[in-house]
Amino acid sequence: MRIVIIVAIAKNGVIGKANCEMPWHIKEDFQHFKKTTMGFPIIMGRKSFESLGKPLPGRENIIVTRNTNLKYDFDGIKIFYSLQDAVDYSRSLNKDKIFITGGGEIYNQSISFADEMIISHMKFDVVGEVKFPDFNVDDWKIISREEKEEFEIVTYLRRD
């Protein structure tokens, strides 16, 4: 099972605002995210989940929080109190891959063990407080590039 980070990053490294508003709305990237993740488990931080407002359909939504009192009235979600427990549970589902879908805190903690990253590199800067962690490109091999009008989708595979 591959652990895959999927993220959209502005040219200046920003992925979001502290208030969780998305700094851009690009339909083509949303469609890419949907098509890529459909049918697979997705792991996200509590803040990112709350910014969505509801679970994303067709995917098991796995939310991590440190708040053991947290409850949501939604079907099709699972809550874990550590990222490790969320990943262990995802592994038990025996899917080909699981996606880490953010946000900043969760990317920060998972970049060290992710096998693959699918990054939409936006062609513009935005204002925002949440950034994707710096990574050493030499640790990753680019296996595909797909050029779009406002962004480029680059797939990175961790080098052995």
Binding site for ligand NAP (CB under 6 A): 7-8, 15-17, 20, 22, 44-48, 51, 64-67, 81-83, 101-106, 109, 130
Q: Side by side, which strands form the sheet with 151-158?
A: 77-80, 61-64, 42-45, 97-100, 2-9, 116-122, 151-158, 140-147
Nearer to ligand NAP, 35 or 159 (CB): 35
Smallest distance, Å, CB 51 to ligand NAP?
5
* CA separation for the pair 66, 80 (Å, rounded): 8
- Name which of 103 and 140 has its Cβ closer to ligand NAP: 103
- Closest CB 111 distance from ligand NAP, rounded Å: 12
**Closest distance between ligand NAP and the C-beta of residue 97, in Å?**
17
